[in-house]
Structures are given as structure tokens and as C-alpha cells.
Structure 1
């Protein structure tokens, strides 16, 4: 896939999905028994769009029951399902959830709930470990994240699906659409946000238009990465493929790298460890490396703008929505002290092993 592709617009640029009524844990327990033959203990998991439950079976195995938002396009739900199946077939070593078929062999079930909605229900394996944001941080762990990110991109490069071109504002390629919304950003940050959106438009957009696109995870933040508690430099799982969409692979890498920027005198150094490990597995083009800093900063801007708006709209879920906002603000201020040239040189040296 080359350059921009057709997208399906949503009615609301921030929320493509309407809120749905909650599914009781008792219903999740009943679904597991009826459709999967499992006797389970159930615990609700935090989620922004779907309703997810952790299931502990009588034999000690753990699963995640995912109940899709009823307003989500069925093609988008199926995109996530088929992507997981494709990755597992292409590279079985990648630590991703595995789809668990129901008694009838289906990996997606259409279930009608008490509110009259029909929702897609799926069961996945649960990947045990420590969420990366709670695990000890190290260069070795960051390098493993980079290798896993590159492996995912390689596994998905020949994956095709009709739902892959759906429009998602969290995709960096659409960041320019945030400009009318920056009035929600605190006044002290607004100049920095505008500066980086200007840089995105000037430097990144022309290059992105020339790059091939493919389906990618698109949300490799530390809440979606599970670390092996015994080998804390090892990624035990990459979860939550809910933001998967077709985009340039450099956007996917920029997301992963943005969360490794630190509040320090050398804020890009940890991100560069991840970037170098990615480049060693899936080499980056010179033009991709040249806009990576712009894209990293843009992801931080997106986190700040979108989460502020969504938290105001959904105060009951604000803690979950704002989980990355504070760090993004602090780290954006740190990298704002760098020039594009300084950042580009640092990224280039990392990729060249200098």
C-alpha cells in the first residue's frame, strides 16, 4: 500500500464510538461457561472502548474475554482478530495474545445482550507479567521492545484486510486535524504544541505521503507491554490491538519511542536505544529517520490534546484516559529544548551504532 489510502470518517473526530451500557461480570461468567465450556472467576479490566474481563479458569489458566463496543464497525473488530491470527502464523515467537475458539469453532461470536445491542465477543489468552510502566526500566528492556516492535511490523507487512484503512485520529498521519482543538490545552503549553504541529506539517507530512503504509499495532505504550517478572529485560507480551490501523511504519515506531523519552538532561537517549534495536531488525530509510523526531513530538502532542478533551467528556473514566498525559507534558517540555538538527543527529548516530 502506497501513500494515503481511503478512510472512513467518523461523526466525532475525538470519539468515533458512542458509550455503551456496561456488561455485568455475571454475564461474562455465563458467556465463558456457555460458549467456551469454562468455569471461571471474573474480574473487569479497564478499557476505553470495549468491555474486557480477565477470566481465571478452574485449571488455573487465564484468559481475556473481549466484548466489542456495539457501534464499532464489524470490519474493524475482525481486523484485530485476523491480524492476531496472521502474526501468530508468520512469527510464532512474538509474544501476542492467541485467539481461543468457542465450542462451535468460531473466534468471533455475535451475542445479543439485555439492552438489545448485538456485540462481538472474543476470547484471548492472557499474557502474564508486569505492565512495563510498573517494571524496572533498563536499556536491555528498551532494546527488547524495539526488537518486538520491528518483528510485529515485519509480520504484518503482507497482511491485507478490508478494515485496515479505517480512520483513527490516534494515527499520527491525521495529527493536523488536532489544530482546531488546541484551545483545550493549558495556555502554558499551547505555544509548544503549536510549534510541533507546525513542524509536523512542514517536515513530516510531505515525507509520510511518499511512504508505504501497512497495518500496524499503533499504540506501543508501556500499558500495552508486559514484562517477564523473572527476566525483567524481556518482553512477555504485547497486548491491546484496538488501535491497529494502516499507517507508515515510522509512525508506529515513533509511538513506541515517544514513551521512552525521559525527564532528564538527555531526554532522547533511552528512546534511541529502542530505535537502534528496531533499526537492527527492520532497517529504517534515511527519510524515515529524518522525520522521526517530528513524529515522536507529535505523538506527545496528540496524547495531551486528545486525552484532555476525552477526560472532560468522560470524567468517570478520566483516570484511565489521562494515564499518559502528565508524563507526555513533562517530556514534551524536555525535548522542546532540542533543535530538529540536534535530535536528528542523535537518532542518526544511534541507528549507525555510534
Structure 2
């Protein structure tokens, strides 16, 4: 069996921007960058993010911006791809409430600098969308159906978008689950380890079929934290943010990720209750976009795969970033309960829960 150090090094090398520590940029330094390169100043607040330095700058008179300072190991190609995607939506679907990329004083969309710690960073300024992330899970059937509707609209908006960077390597791509196989032996709890092993085996058996599903460039993280409303309990989605996980992926993967984001937080429930919120997302989606029968059949296994991905990434990160363990462990408990629910049921049984009474639009 590979050593823990060897396992972590192998994964970290492939997904370096996700796992490598770096020196965070102080707010004062970020504000100086904003002033020098974008001609703005104001109140600067750091926002919690997974792998970069992100700041909210309120300039007064209702003006506000997001300054993103990328991880030193962030791929230049990935940042160019994300920027091109947002520019494409700006030009083709100005009605969609997504961030806009603000050009610097020199007209560039991406600014490169060496920070005071000697790290080379990529910097972008984005428009700020007012609102709060949706409550998780979304509290009403109406708002959950809206999640599906908005995801379907975004799928259509991106249907013709293509870019050389769309095939990026991303750890949050469910199709990358096999890369996390070495993490399985590192799971301490024997029941969790067995559960993850069963889920991984099921996923691996379906991987050829998953690779044959329809693909296009998609958001890939359409969850409550990336959807805005006037308040957390509001019934209307007012914005879509964080395209940092966007890539070319399967239509069914994009939808299953949104559906997995609505699984209940507490305990195993009966089959209908456990998946009812996810089905609301599905029904909203089908109002505006089609799914092929084989895609609906895959939704259950792909939701399970997304939950497994969360569990394995969390296990890995607890070893890389042990200081984050207390916060992680609360969500770990939920994740393992959700994964056990899927593993304890036959995949065909779960699939039938989605295909039952689902109105297909056809291809």
C-alpha cells in the first residue's frame, strides 16, 4: 500500500492549486493593487474561499467589486478559460445575472503581478452581484424548481461556447474519482472505508457509460452557495456566481451536482423524502431542457459519485490542512450519512425514483 505521504504528494502534484499552501495576500496589499491597476478604492473585506484570495471592495454610491487574486499555482489557461466564458455570457446573454469581468487601466482582463511574498499571482476584477447565498438546502419546492430552471437556462446559454481550455484538469470533476482511489485506504473509520469502497466500485463499473453521455461546457457547481437571492429565505434567484469549476462535462453530471446539493442534512429518510428536494430541481430543469432516458437513469449513480467525491476530498484535505478539521467534521457526518443511503440501495431502485412520473421532453 502506498504511504500516506506518497499518496498526498501524488494527488497534490496533479491538483496543485487545490492542495498547495501559499502566503495569503493582506487586504492592504490587495487594495493597493485595486487602486493602481483599476483605479478604485474603498472598504475592503476578505471573503472565505477554497483556494485563492478574494476580496469585496465597496466603493460607495452603491458601487462594489470583487477582486480575485488567484492561487500562485493556478493554471493561466484555466483563468483565461473562465474569463472567456464570462465574456461570452456578457456578449450573448446579457439578461443572465452573472459576474462581468472588468478591464484594468491597460485594457487587460487579467493582470499579472508578483506579490510581496514573491509569489506570481493572476488578478481579475469582477462586478459584484448583490444578494446572499441561498439557504442550504433550499427551503421550498418553489425555489428548488427555480434552481433547476436556472441551470437549464444556463445550459442553453453555453450550448455553443467552446474554448481550448474547456478540458481542464479539475479535482471537482466527478470523472476524476479514480484519481482518488489511493485515498480509500486512508479512511480511518472501517464502516466509512467499506462504504466508500462499494460506492467507488459502482462508479467504476459505470464509467464507460458515463464517458459516453452528452457533454458541453457547464457550470459544474450549481449549489446554494453559488446562487444568490435578496435574502436566504427569498423565493427568487437573483444571481449566479463562481464559475471556477466550469469545464466541459456531461449534462447529467452538471444536473446531478445541483440535485446532490439539495440532499437532506439530517439522517436517513424514507426513499421518497430523501430525494424529494432533488426531484424538485429535476422537475424545474425539465421545464426548459431535455434529458435523454440514459441520462435520467444515471442521475442517481452520479449523485452518489458527487457525495463520494466530497467524502474523499474531505479525507484528503483533513490530512493536508488539519487546522480546518473542526469545520470539516460537521459536514463529514452529513456526507457519510448521505453516501450510506445510496450504498444501502440497489442503483436501479434509486434510478426508478427519478424516472417515475418524470415528463421527458425528448431529444
Distance 2:191 2:134 in 1: 30
In structure 2, the CA distance between the partners of 1:90 and 1:319, relative to structure 1 (3 Å rule), is farther
- Partner residue, 2:358: 351
**Aligned pair 1:170/2:172, yes or no?**
yes
SS of the residue aligned with 1:180? helix
Contact 2:133 2:232 (8 Å CA) reproduced: no
**Aligned with 1:288 (options 267, 287, 295):** 295
Give the alignment of 1:314-329 within 5 angstroms.
314-318=321-325, 324-329=331-336
Gaps of 5+ in 2: 1-9
**Aligned pair 1:195/2:202, yes or no?**
no
**Aligned pair 1:300/2:307, yes or no?**
yes
Distance 1:125 1:318 in 2: 33
Cα deviation, residue 280, structure 1: 2.2
Cα deviation, residue 244, structure 1: 1.6
**Aligned with 2:31 (options 29, 32, 37):** 29
In structure 2, the CA distance between the partners of 1:279 and 1:331, relative to structure 1 (3 Å rule), is same
C-alpha distance after superposition, 1:191-215 (max 9, x if no partner): 2222222221223x12222223222
- Partner residue, 1:126: 128
SS of the residue aligned with 2:13? coil
Deviating runs (4+, > 6 A) in structure 1? Answer: none
Distance 1:237 1:135 in 2: 17
Q: How many residues align?
A: 344
Distance 1:193 1:315 in 2: 21
Distance 2:110 2:147 in 1: 29
Which is worse superposed, 314-323 or 147-156? 314-323
Which is worse superposed, 266-275 or 331-340? 331-340
Distance 2:124 2:329 in 1: 27
In structure 2, the CA distance between the partners of 1:324 and 1:244, relative to structure 1 (3 Å rule), is farther
C-alpha distance after superposition, 1:163-184 (max 9, x if no partner): 1112112101121222221123
Contact 1:10 1:16 (8 Å CA) reproduced: no
Contact 2:135 2:232 (8 Å CA) reproduced: no
In structure 2, the CA distance between the partners of 1:15 and 1:326, relative to structure 1 (3 Å rule), is farther
Which is worse superposed, 33-42 or 14-23? 14-23
C-alpha distance after superposition, 1:106-161 (max 9, x if no partner): 22111221222221111112222222235861111111111111122222222122
**Aligned with 1:40 (options 35, 39, 42):** 42
Aligned alpha-carbon RMSD (Å):
2.3
Distance 2:56 2:177 in 1: 33
**Aligned pair 1:111/2:117, yes or no?**
no
C-alpha distance after superposition, 1:32-71 (max 9, x if no partner): 2222221211111111211101111122322110001121
TM-score relative to the length of structure 2? 0.87
Contact 1:273 1:350 (8 Å CA) reproduced: no
Contact 1:228 1:236 (8 Å CA) reproduced: yes
Give the alignment of 1:146-161 within 5 angstroms.
146-161=148-163
**Aligned with 1:267 (options 274, 290, 297):** 274
Distance 2:78 2:11 in 1: 13
Contact 2:52 2:71 (8 Å CA) reproduced: yes
In structure 2, the CA distance between the partners of 1:129 and 1:330, relative to structure 1 (3 Å rule), is farther
